[in-house]
A and B are shown apart, each in its own frame.
Chain A
């Protein structure tokens, strides 16, 4: 097994402010960034604050920015960096810092509450739900979301625009609207709720200009923009009135293999 010393710059601080600190720390074969943060805790800075749970890319707790890029620390292998590189680890930029690498993500939980829940179909008893696999697959893709909020962090609509936060649910929760809208048995319509229009009017779908940055950072590989946001836009407004959709479709067509 090979071992080497890596250089890290990690942001330390709290609500009052903070700074990048330099560390030199041992790295072993096969390790990920989170392993290194843990080693620092155990040997150099026992109070270094970090969130994590599963260490297997399943819970979406360990989100941070590694060399400025939103990532899961537990799925970022050290072998993706050169040994000479100094690796920076900083907290998610779009959310207020609590301490060190831990940010206040309550924005996301507020937004989750603003999306009206699944409406069960009237008169279908539990156990009598029938859906075809091909019909559930679209929503299933979105339900792979582990709520790491990396897409929320990266989306430029809110990343440096605090003022947009009240009006914009962010890709994760716009996708949630799409998920419910595509659920084969969701009875929102029957209950007088137009999810597409709500996406536009209540959740700020119009602010999204389909840059696809969210899709790029999603660790689950969910095609947020192509499969959730663009279809939602298409259904929300008459496409003639949304030039971006038209543009998005062009771009998609051009880059498709």
Chain B
């Protein structure tokens, strides 16, 4: 029998990024004893990398802004597939969530009259992104981290123990959500440092584990992004929503090879940077799609004037939503008009004085200088698309962040689906984390207070422990987890990447099946203490599950929309607008590793509430909504 340490908490939050920390703060403030668990050190979660800003319609720079405009932009950006109630709550609550950060010590950049400054970003009609230079994520995470420390200081005064009511288990990983019957009963975890297992018993678990980018070769994401939360939800029986939508950010570094994929923030374009091909042409003017024709400048002159006088000019097409820009770059490179290392040129050096570039974009200046020997104040950067964000995710209730069908399981942040539809606007993630992180914490605490305490069975612990230890018992001819990971990344990058074709996706599914068979034999050397090979072997299960979801859903959706582009089905089909694709686990899980683990289910989206529809012009709705929706 495995002996593991068991601890009782009211709410367990998996993940210490923006969503997880905001959830934990809320749950603790509502009286729930709350544990946060995260794979990295406290304060290092992926959110720390966010650069450009956090979207909230505070209207500090342009008074025309309000939640309705933000809602509209978000729905347009997502091509109307967004879970509209989430988009509504998000637009309405984002300003309060940003202002609240100031009361916890955050220091955003200011307007001349002392308010929070806001910058332009792709797809946002007004300057809307609160920011701190280009290190907004750092400010967000540090502020939340320091708020948590403040709550712990309070508890220390009251109980003599900093961790009496809020504890962070850093460098620990959850490998299973535990259940009693249909209900959540806790989480099974291991500590990186010792390899020791432990169980956090709790009636409510919030998944806030971020994204899946590490399944792709070229990505802006860190090692943490192995889709753990997505997989944990599936394994616990909760479905994922619209997993085919993966955002490829248009501007990642392309050279040198070792930094390929690292993000070049969209603020470069928001602040005036332009894209050019090898012929020196600002090619984005050729790529404005019909649905956006009236909203973007037709000439370089008009686009340039917009930075100074946005009320009388239209914005330059460099600021189209990300999916459009990424596809355009891809086409230019394909047509042989790319830069020497297979990207295109992004230039600020001819657009702003060097001093201003260094002030507005300090990390970008630093990043290119240090990693690529490029001085962005003097020459253009080379950039190309990089896997950045997953719009798909755990299906949740818009108001409460509760997952579907597993009482006690909640999800918020990048791991949750719905909010961004088929494509996320820049800056809308950080605000999403705060709005729905808070809601998840609130509802998890409420649920925990009334749910009682489901039991954690020894049998479940035994099974979870055996699963986690399997890589140490691999026989002769064990597979190297690093090799498997690389093959998985290549498969997804090449076959289910930015431009997709049916044949390739079908092939991807076959390769994934073969990788699953090999992953069952993944073996590791050494012992359980801080052993990265072992950790990766465990992460493979998650990446393979999530990759199967992406490939299956992408093959099923026979249209192009947002972050899902098919060469064989190039146009957006209005009939697909009201269709959600749910990925459900095949139950019981097949014993044969080659067999698929995911079943797809089509559901219909809830009709958009009439007062929200009324925020759009009829002419615009006609371009998006399915025929029958127009008559409803």
Which A residues fall within an 8 A CB radius of B? 1, 14, 28-32, 35, 41-43, 46-61, 75, 77, 98-100, 102, 105, 109, 112-113, 116-118, 120, 126-127, 129-133, 136, 139-140, 143-147, 180, 183, 186
Contact = CB atoms under 8 A, between A and B. Distances in A.
A117 B105 contact: yes
B224 A53 contact: yes
Interface of B: 40-44, 46, 48-49, 58, 95-96, 99-100, 102-105, 107, 109-110, 112-115, 117, 132-133, 135, 137-139, 142, 146-147, 149-150, 152-153, 156, 162, 193, 222-224, 255-259, 262-263, 363, 366-367, 370-372, 480-483, 486, 524-527, 529-534
A59 B44 contact: yes
B105 A50 contact: no
28 contacts: A28-B257, A30-B256, A30-B371, A32-B258, A46-B482, A46-B524, A46-B532, A49-B530, A52-B223, A56-B49, A56-B262, A56-B367, A60-B44, A99-B530, A113-B153, A113-B162, A117-B149, A118-B105, A120-B104, A127-B58, A127-B99, A140-B133, A143-B142, A144-B135, A144-B138, A146-B48, A146-B138, A183-B105
A21 B35 CA distance: 39
Contacts of B58: 127
A136 B133 CA distance: 12
Given A57-B366, A99-B530, A130-B115, A41 B258 contact: no
Contacts of B534: 47
Contacts of B103: 120, 126, 129
B44 A53 contact: yes
A60 B139 CA distance: 14
B522 to A, nearest CB: 11
A61 B223 CA distance: 12
B138 A58 contact: yes
Q: Is the interface of A mostly helix, strand, loop or mixed?
A: loop
A47 B107 contact: no
A145 B372 CA distance: 23
Given A42-B482, A47-B533, A77-B371, A58 B132 contact: no
B531 A49 contact: yes
Contacts of B372: 30
A247 B112 CA distance: 38
Most chain A CB neighbours (cut-off 10 Å) among B138, B481, B527:
B138
B449 to A, nearest CB: 26
A58 B363 contact: yes
Contact of B114 (A59, A117, A131): A131
Contacts of A147: 43-44
Nearest to B112: A133
Given A54-B46, A117-B105, A120-B104, 18 more contacts: A28-B258, A29-B256, A32-B258, A42-B486, A46-B481, A48-B532, A52-B223, A53-B46, A53-B222, A56-B49, A61-B40, A61-B41, A77-B370, A77-B371, A99-B529, A116-B153, A133-B112, A147-B44
A179 B203 CA distance: 40
B355 to A, nearest CB: 15
Most chain A CB neighbours (cut-off 10 Å) among B146, B367, B527:
B146
A26 B114 CA distance: 53
B153 A117 contact: yes
Contacts of B525: 46-47
Contact of B49 (A47, A54, A144): A54
Given A48-B532, A98-B193, A117-B150, A53 B524 contact: no
A41 B482 contact: yes
What are the 4 A-B residue pairs with the smallest beta carbon separation, nearest first?
A: A30-B256, A118-B105, A47-B526, A46-B533
A41 B482 CA distance: 8
Contacts of B104: 118, 120
Contact of B146 (A28, A56, A118): A118
A102 B532 CA distance: 11
B253 to A, nearest CB: 9
Given A30-B372, A118-B146, A53 B40 contact: yes
Given A32-B258, A46-B532, A112-B149, A58 B48 contact: yes
Contacts of B113: 130
A183 B103 CA distance: 12
Contacts of B257: 1, 28-30
A58 to B, nearest CB: 5
A137 B49 CA distance: 21
A6 B442 CA distance: 53
Contacts of A50: 532
Given A61-B40, A133-B110, A30 B259 contact: yes
B161 to A, nearest CB: 12
A1 B481 CA distance: 27
B475 to A, nearest CB: 17
B41 A75 contact: no
A118 B222 CA distance: 30
A112 B42 CA distance: 12
Nearest to B154: A117
Contact of A57 (B110, B132, B367): B367
Contacts of A113: 149, 152-153, 156, 162
Contacts of A47: 524-527, 531-534
Given A54-B48, A61-B44, A14 B529 contact: yes
A65 B40 CA distance: 20
B384 to A, nearest CB: 16
Contacts of A120: 103-105
A146 B363 CA distance: 12
A49 B532 contact: yes
Most chain B CB neighbours (cut-off 10 Å) among A46, A126, A136:
A46
Contacts of B112: 133
B218 to A, nearest CB: 13
Contact of A143 (B107, B367, B481, B486): B107
Contacts of A129: 99, 102-103
Nearest to B107: A136
B604 to A, nearest CB: 39
Nearest to A144: B135
A54 B222 contact: yes
Contacts of A58: 48-49, 135, 137-138, 363
Contacts of B100: 126
B262 A55 contact: yes
Nearest to B255: A30
A145 to B, nearest CB: 8
B118 to A, nearest CB: 14
Most chain B CB neighbours (cut-off 10 Å) among A59, A99, A109:
A59
B224 A32 contact: no
A125 to B, nearest CB: 8
A52 to B, nearest CB: 7
A53 B223 contact: yes
A49 to B, nearest CB: 4
Nearest to A116: B153
Contacts of B117: 133
Contacts of A41: 482, 532-533
Contact of B132 (A59, A127, A140): A140
Given A49-B531, A57-B366, A118-B146, A31 B222 contact: no
Given A59-B49, A118-B150, A133-B110, A100 B530 contact: yes
A32 B44 contact: no
A29 B259 CA distance: 11
A233 to B, nearest CB: 23
Contacts of A112: 149
A174 B406 CA distance: 46
Contacts of B530: 49, 98-100, 102
Contacts of B258: 28, 30-32, 35
